[in-house]
Amino acid sequence: MKIIVCIKQVPDTNEVKLDPKTGTLIRDGVPSIINHDDMNALEEALKLKDRYEDVEITVLTMGPPQADVALREALAMGADRAILVSDRAVAGSDTWATSNTLTAAIKKIGSYDMIFCGRQAIDGDTAQVGPQIAEKLDLPQVTYVQKMEVKGDTVTVQRALEDGYEIIDVKMPCVLTAIKELNSPRYASVSGIFDAYREKNVEVWSAKDIEVDLAIIGLNGSPTNVRRTFTPDPKGKGTMIPGCDKGTVCELFNILKEKHII
Amino acid sequence: MNFSLTKEQEMVRKLMKEFSENEVKPIAAEVDETERFPRETVEKMARYDIMGIPFPKQYGGAGGDNLSYAIAVEELSKVCGTTGVILSAHTSLGAHPIYQYGTEEQKMKYLVPLAKGEKLGAFGLTEPNAGTDSSAQQTVAVLDGDNYILNGSKVFITNGGEADIYIIFAMTDKSKGNKGISAFIVEKEFKGFSIGKKEDKMGIRGSSTTELIFENCIVPKENLLGQVGKGFGIAMQTLDGGRIGIAAQALGIAEGALDECAKYMKERKQFGKPLAAFQGLQWMVAEMATKVEAAKLLVYSAADKKDKKLPFSAEAAMAKLFAAEAAMEVTTKAVQIFGGYGYTRDYPVERMMRDAKITEIYEGTSQVQKMVIAAKVLK
């Protein structure tokens, strides 16, 4: 079974602070981590590898050269192959352009039975990239996976809902997105860490390598534009009109009228 | 000169930090309070190849370096001095002598399970009358056919009773003094070997410290480690490396106390402002942080020298001397900064202060470290 796990390197939000003036994240000096839900996706793939023979796990990410360390960590946990799509042409991508890039990379990888993503990244919270990849590859998808089992070419999945779950059988190849209830990710092992740097390799692919149309990636290929981020001003203190008689109601009525609310 | 860790070492630090925070810190106070050996932590460390960091893969190790191993002990000790010394005694004192002096057969039989963490290691040199004067060994080993017969006892043995494999020193020829000492690999199950009194200690209370008793203990001839009469050298060189582990433990304890202080000083308010706003206390933490940083450089430098196969004996002694004294000073000041609360078991700094004291004593007292350093300077 060939599994591709898509991961994202994100700033550790436990350590991150907001710039009060611009409303943007202060990323300087903030440690980077593998996005939490992506770790759950990777762990589930590793569990399949522990259980079945012939499971090959490829971790894939799009990011700056520094994302190498996230892929090395995934290798240290037990992934077999790591690919970093890194190119100035992909900078500034929104979810649409990101999924275009990842889809092109997955096509170049070629064969796969399962594509596993985290539900969403803690820095953007969109939950769009996984489903978009499924659509673009024309694959069945199940999101919010909280439990799963593989039998033959079918995955039986518990998909979390707000007030329960549904059980879905999905044929491979398919796209799944993991939530934290799925498992507890393992640590990297010490020997895995040394192997990840000495024995294993992170392949770096450019936009040209994945043969993607430059018009649909990066900032120019992104339909979403972030014009400004801001923290909404706190609401002012309310006015209390005490009482429960007719006069109090009239007073309220008059204030609302004055403000043209009614 | 390069003061940066490699990427591998940085990732080992990240792993050990997460492991220590999640798996070790939550039970540290209970392990201390109840004097319980944290067996479950040893099993978890084995799962992540932490029990054999500096040994090659062919012998079951992680294929790492001594600096990564020191970082592992440091991170564990930040939250639990007990766990730090379990790893240090196992790796430096139990497994390392077999790696350094063992035959290929001994390595396959004993080092592999030790490095994998399937077995725990310990080291028995100290005797009731042979502490700092470790050459005054009274345990004897007499060759009898295919076996050595050991008689005597050892005291203050870290991992005693919990370990499966012990490196034991004994006199094979009393007339030769130092040169009559030999080293042996002794299994816990060997006939005539038993565990004596368990010490009730001031600190590192989860670590098992016991007496070892040999009464006509039968040790197969092939379990002689190194050559006959070379045991004292093996012991001294093993302790040189062990000191890096204990120095890393002391460093970790000091860093842990400093971290607790920084957190507490920002939270605790007196006279309407946080403790962190008082210059008197700022100066205390500034001194503490400087000692910690200096200790760290000495410890890492000694480990790096060992990795580069350069002489490191005096450097390891300096690292242990300085880091141990820093740990004692920093933890004592930490209790002072916490005030009355620091003296209670509600906060971890009193445990850290108790744990710190032993680092000035075991694997060579601070005074022994000064002997080693002076011998190098005045040679």
- CA quadruple A191, A193, A194, A199: dihedral sign: positive
| Centroid of chain to Cα A156 | 22
CB B325 within 8 A of CB B6: no
* A189 touching B (Cβ < 8 Å): yes
| Centroid of chain to Cα A126 | 8
Q: Decide if A189 and B47 are in contact by the 8 Å CB cutoff.
A: yes
**Selection from B258, B315, B235 nearest residue B70 by Cα:** B315
**Selection from B187, B183, B151, B152 nearest residue B166 by Cα:** B187
pLDDT of residue A234: 81
A–B CB contacts, 8 A cutoff, strictly below = 53
Q: What is the DSSP string of A174-224?
A: EEEEE-GGG--PPPPPHHHHHHHHHT--EEEE-TTTTT--GGGSTTTT-S-
Q: Decide if B48 and A76 are in contact by the 8 Å CB cutoff.
A: no
* A187 touching B (Cβ < 8 Å): yes
CB B298 within 8 A of CB B247: yes
Of B15, B21, B57, B307, which to mutate for an interface test with A (greatest number of A Cβ within 10 Å)? B15
- A154: how many CB neighbours lie within 10 A of its CB? 13
> What is the identity of the amino acid at A59?
V
B332: which 2 tokens?
């004592």
Residues sharing a CB contact under 8 Å with residue B273, sequence separation 6 or more, in sequence order:
none
pLDDT of residue B328: 98
pLDDT of residue A14: 77
* A253 touching B (Cβ < 8 Å): no
Phi and psi torsions of B132, nearest 5°:
-60, -35
Is the per-residue pLDDT at A23 higher than 70? no
Across the strands, what pairs with A157? Answer: A148, A168
* A185 touching B (Cβ < 8 Å): no
Is the per-residue pLDDT at A199 higher than 80? yes
In the annotation, is B363 catalytic?
yes
Q: What are the chain A neighbours of B7 within 8 Å (beta carbons)? A: 69, 72, 197
Task: Pick the range with the lowest mean pLDDT from A11-15, A112-116, B105-109.
Answer: A11-15
From A16's Cα to the closest Cα of chain B, the distance in A is 17
B155: which 2 tokens?
């005291």
pLDDT of residue B85: 98
Annotated catalytic residue within B127, B325, B360, B363? B363
Q: Which of residues 50-69 of B touch A (CB under 8 A)?
A: 50, 53, 57, 61-64, 68
pLDDT of residue B14: 96
* A191 closest CB neighbour out of B7, B14, B62: B62
Across the strands, what pairs with A9? Answer: A34
List per-residue pLDDT tens for chain B, 379 residues long. Answer: 788 999 999 999 999 999 999 999 999 999 999 999 999 999 999 999 999 999 999 999 999 999 999 999 999 999 999 999 999 999 999 999 999 999 999 999 999 999 999 999 999 999 999 988 888 999 999 999 999 999 999 999 999 999 999 999 999 999 999 999 999 999 999 999 999 999 999 999 999 999 999 999 999 999 999 999 999 999 999 999 999 999 999 999 999 999 999 999 999 999 999 999 999 999 999 999 999 999 999 999 999 999 999 999 999 999 999 999 999 999 999 999 999 999 999 999 999 999 999 999 999 999 999 999 999 999 8
B210: part of which helix (H) or strand (E)?
strand B209-220
ipTM entry: 0.93
A84: which 2 tokens?
């970093």
CB B158 within 8 A of CB B201: no
Q: How far apart are CA B253 and CA B354, in angstroms?
A: 10
- Helix intervals (H) in chain B: 7-19, 25-34, 39-47, 66-79, 81-88, 96-101, 104-106, 112-116, 231-267, 279-307, 313-338, 349-358, 366-377
A236: which 2 tokens?
């002012």
Confidence of residue A41 (pLDDT cuts 50, 70, 90): very high
**Selection from B66, B64, B129 nearest residue B315 by Cα:** B66
CB B137 within 8 A of CB B170: yes
pLDDT of residue B1: 77
Q: Decide if B72 and A69 are in contact by the 8 Å CB cutoff.
A: no
Q: Average pLDDT, whole number, for chain A?
A: 93
Q: How far apart are CA B95 and CA B53, in angstroms?
A: 11
* B13 touching A (Cβ < 8 Å): no
Q: What is the DSSP string of A118-143?
A: ES--TTT----HHHHHHHHHT--EEE
Residues sharing a CB contact under 8 Å with residue B224, sequence separation 6 or more, in sequence order:
B148, B182, B183, B184
Average confidence (pLDDT) over A180-195: 97
pLDDT of residue B371: 96
Q: How far apart are CA A106 and CA A110, in angstroms?
A: 6
- B168: how many CB neighbours lie within 10 A of its CB? 28
Confidence of residue A125 (pLDDT cuts 50, 70, 90): confident
pLDDT of residue B18: 96
Q: What percent of chain A has pLDDT over 90?
A: 77
Do you know the residue count of chain A? Answer: 262
Q: How far apart are CA B128 and CA B211, in angstroms?
A: 10
Is the per-residue pLDDT at A63 higher than 80? yes
Q: Decide if B11 and A196 are in contact by the 8 Å CB cutoff.
A: yes
Phi and psi torsions of A176, nearest 5°:
-125, 145
DSSP 3-state assignment of A110? coil
Q: Decide if A69 and B11 are in contact by the 8 Å CB cutoff.
A: yes
Residues sharing a CB contact under 8 Å with residue B107, sequence separation 6 or more, in sequence order:
B59, B98, B99
Q: How far apart are CA A224 and CA B108, in angstroms?
A: 61
A117: part of which helix (H) or strand (E)?
strand A114-118
From B21's Cα to the closest Cα of chain A, the distance in A is 12
Q: Decide if B18 and A190 are in contact by the 8 Å CB cutoff.
A: no
Q: How many CA atoms lie within 13 Å of A110's alpha carbon, on the beta-carbon side?
A: 0
B106: which 2 tokens?
């001994």
Q: What is the DSSP string of B125-179?
A: --BTTBSSSTT----EEEEETTEEEEEEEEEEEETTTT-SEEEEEEES-GGGGGG
> What is the identity of the amino acid at A83?
I
* B8 closest CB neighbour out of A187, A189, A193: A193
Q: How far apart are CA A231 and CA B53, in angstroms?
A: 48
Question: Please, what is the Cα angle at A222 between A221 and A227, to 5 degrees?
Answer: 135
Residues sharing a CB contact under 8 Å with residue B271, sequence separation 6 or more, in sequence order:
none
Q: Decide if B64 and A73 are in contact by the 8 Å CB cutoff.
A: no
CB B6 within 8 A of CB B71: no
